[in-house]
Structure 1
Amino acid sequence: MHSGPSTSGVGRVIAGRYLLLHRLGGGGMGHVWLAHDQRLACEVALKEIVFPDPAEGPHEREARVARARAEARHAAGLRDHPHVVTVHDVLEHEELPWIVMEYVAGAVDLRDLVEQRGPLAPAECARVGLAVLDALTAGHERGVLHRDVKPANILLAPDRTGAPYGRVLLADYGISVRPATGETRWTMASALVGTPGYLAPERATGGPPTPAADLFSLGCTLYFGVEGQGPFARPSHLAELTAVVAEEPRPATRAGALGPIVHALLAKDPAARASAAQTEAALARIVVPQAAAYSRTQTDLGSQPQWAAAPPPPPPPHRAPRRRVLHSALAGLLGLALAGGGVWYAVAGPDGGTGSTGSALPYGDQVGLTRELVAGDCVIATWPGAPFEGTPGLALDRSCTDLIPDGQVMAFVETASAREARERGAEMCEERTREVRERLADVRSFAVVPTDEGFEAAGRRTACLVLGAHAPVYGPLAGYREVGALFADVATVQRRDCLDVAREGQVRLASCAGRYHQQVLGFTRMGEDVTYDAGKERAEDTCARDVPPQDYGFDPSVYEAGGWVSEGSWKSGTHLVVCTVRKQNGGTMEGDEP
């Protein structure tokens, strides 16, 4: 049995498969190695469990081993999340567990980045905060608390566009816990569960772990990002804990627009602390400040038709028709539905979406908009030919329902010039909208690029749209939907949505923190020859075959598959099926589900 810290482990082969190349770092539970997977011929990261104290008792050893297994289990449950380091496996070697993880090439943690390059700008720190918050929220919805959110556990890595810190990942679920499940909490007798200076005051005084405690730690982390030190930094851990409990944070001097939400996250009383929804809204306003000034009519989906009942309203006649037939080789492929933006690439027109060179409009005469797009704008796209070929004319659907929108503005990318926007806008929008597209089933990215003359009027930004790939989206997408809103079509449903289902067949978006009837697991498709009526009848059986709930950790003796279809996907030829999980006895589900 390996019982002490490694000094030279380079060259060791773990479990007959992983060749250790060099140390990447270490923490309280062990070392992290870069390793070569000799079976798959790729690089991975391995976390090695070590016992620094040879005299450590059997209970402490058991606790360390159990915590490693818990880390792998909890992180693996979030492996499809774009902002969580993926865990591939946990294996035994020399009677100790090793965790096999995604190797994030070129990554640097937030602590090291700030120490090397100085504090972040408030908007950049807000962008990082949004990604970490999204990861935390996904864990909280599964009942998993991180309990050690801090700069050293946030990795920044190059994204697919080459931006050096474009990808944000939350790492190290080593002390995470699911309090609602009653699982054993493996806490070292001599160790504090969390990091002094980032630990919520209620945790420092022995209170139970809650999502609010993770949000306090996020507030401390954001403070560090813009100020260069923690809000309760002191010479010793004991002094830091005392400050967390009894003292106010140091006044922020560099936080700017980030200051109010950081202050709200650092409230001593968990009940007075900013919620996840409030934090998300505040951070989004900093990342995309124009969104705060734009008054958008709230969507009322209650007037829309039910799923699998009345057909959705017909599209306005001025729009070019969608393609009606999906290639037969794609029918029924869950992988395509989930891949979304990974398969389809954003395109700008041959002129880069610039329109007439003499136009004073932000995006040119062809696009036709007289003002810049802002976050959340729903749009109607009129294509000059086939959809996604050339540059469309755009009109706004201010309610996101009146005209049955083709898509919505989801992000922006800022460039130094209109030329850079033409050259890189589509690629950058592809990356910025990737997370949203991966949660939806049938959408594409599209970049609306400003003209040379309209570059300043467009705020020096390219607008990143998410558009229905084969049909309109029938309503707002992603974070612009409201809890309680009635779904008009399956096009706006995304993975891990929680649903309330009324007796009359109406389906509404529910909060995953409370009680709900079903949860969306994924999507599949039916063949071109399947009629809509047949699709309704076969939906549940198809989902039980293609997206079985047991693959997601649901006990097959308690849960079963559900399936939903709408006429919109049949009219477009995609024959999309939303696959859910529900209780066999018809009861409600709660936040402690797998």
Structure 2
Amino acid sequence: MHSGSPTSGVGRVIAGRYLLLNRLGSGGMGHVWLAHDQRLACEVALKEIVFRDLDPAGEEREARVARARAEARYAAGLRGHPHVVTVHDVLEHEGLPWIVMEYVAGATDLRDLVERRGPLAPAECARIGLAVLDALNSGHETGVMHRDVKPANILLAPDRTGAPYGRVLLTDYGISVRPDAGETRYTLASVLVGTSGYLAPERATGGPPTPAADLFSLGCTLYYAVEGHGPFDRESTLAEVTAVVMEEPRPPVRAGALGPVLRSLLEKDPGRRPSASRAEAALSEIVTPRAEPYARTRTDLGSQPPWAGVASAPPPPTAPAPDGFGPVAAPPSAPRHRREVPRVLRAVLAASLGLLLALGGVWYAMARQGGGGGTGRALPYGSAVGLVRPLKDGDCVLADWPGPDRFTGTPRLTLDPSCGAQAPDGQVMAFSAAASADEARKEGSARCEERTQEIRERLADVRSLAVVPTGAGFGLAGRRTACLVLGAHGPVYGPLGAHRRLGSSFTDTANMQRRDCLRAPSERDAGLVSCSGPHDQQVLGFTRLGRDVTLTEARTRSDAACAKDVPPRDYGFDPSVYTSGSWTSQGAWKSGTHFVVCTVRKQNGGTMEGDES
């Protein structure tokens, strides 16, 4: 592990009313700030227009300002919609417009969520898709096309019940347009309007914006959510645009029941894409599967969380989904000629079957006496997981996945009592009690997501995993699901959250978390200390370096990257006193994530005191 060696808006008051607190993010048109409305004593989000060139030409400047006003006007037309970020006002400050918007507390965008946690389950993607589709429909009914539907423009936030990511909001109407209103389209010559990998092919070739084009972009977005990458991801913008126009999307591998919907939304010909109502019906079917007559209801395995086991029996034929979406019903089997089995062969088969049943009875009796592995009882989480005792709070585990990809299939778990000597993959951080094994199976994964949300948001690269008890092991497991936090792409190397002891040293940056206070006796050693006392650095957040950056190069570049992406001034630290620090480690380079931990420290190398954090 190694410590690496424009003017902030924090503290400015905009239009005599809005005090800028910190920067929430940046987009194509500028920055979004968290601000305090001094008149109403509440928090809002302010969108600031930033020109990439210092002094754009007059016409271009006017076009950018007009685009901002148009964004506010279009979004304000959807004011009060449950799935659109509310726009409160548009104002001018020092000659430039600022858009005053609803501040969505605890929100993360879909792109960041998938980058941190990995692909989502198909049913969860369908739920998100329904909300975005509802927002788009409301705009389409008034003639407004969004034109930039993509993961970064979809916010997920806790809903009123506290469920994480329960609220879905579409934002950034910055390039919206009413095609039939005769308005100027605020674009620059030779610049595509939209995001290359999510642009409909007819838009990429100069066609007009239509509802069908927005639905294509929604298809690309849901593909990203369920697969972890876009359907037309390429090495350059030009290659992505070419792929959108000329190539078919990569076949999805995780989509399950969502696959047929994605294929329909990603049709090159807009006339062959489903209408909004057909798309809504198909997505609703995935979120709440309908029962089929004369057949046992069967959830598509692709719509279950990664933890769910796969049945060995082949699936029964399924009825077609509404409006032509798959899967297609299996055709009836062709008639076969029955062949009479000779009487002697029947006798031999009967004798063999009897022998097998007898041997099976002997094996079962011995197994009941010896109990798998000598335990004499059921395994709490089943034979695939392999643990002979229920998990306890703080247990560190090693996860052996059945295939090359993490979070695919059911991992075999073993305990790491040292919680560090074997580079553990994760740790038990919470539990979810249930009234029955069936309730644990149905609700365990979502509840674990909720119970581990806070710790996951403090770490750079982790995911939640629900270890659900089997029916036979439900009582033995304490009638509860164990909620693990595992490294998304590699080990966590040590204990997490409150299970870490003050004074302990970090062996890797993977279990450093936001707001940690560190002692740093050297550039290679860091330990966890209380923030109420003297400390050398404090963790503010994380950034990532490019795939081509080596670990050796990272140690000289990481400070500058943190100063750019996680500037201490955005967290209230005086830039004349404090500066950026950083930590890198081998773990992030072994996993290929290239995460860097960004900290704040004093410029003179002095100790920070408790009241500064």
TM-score (norm 2): 0.48
Q: Over alpha carbons, which structure has the higher Rg? A: 2
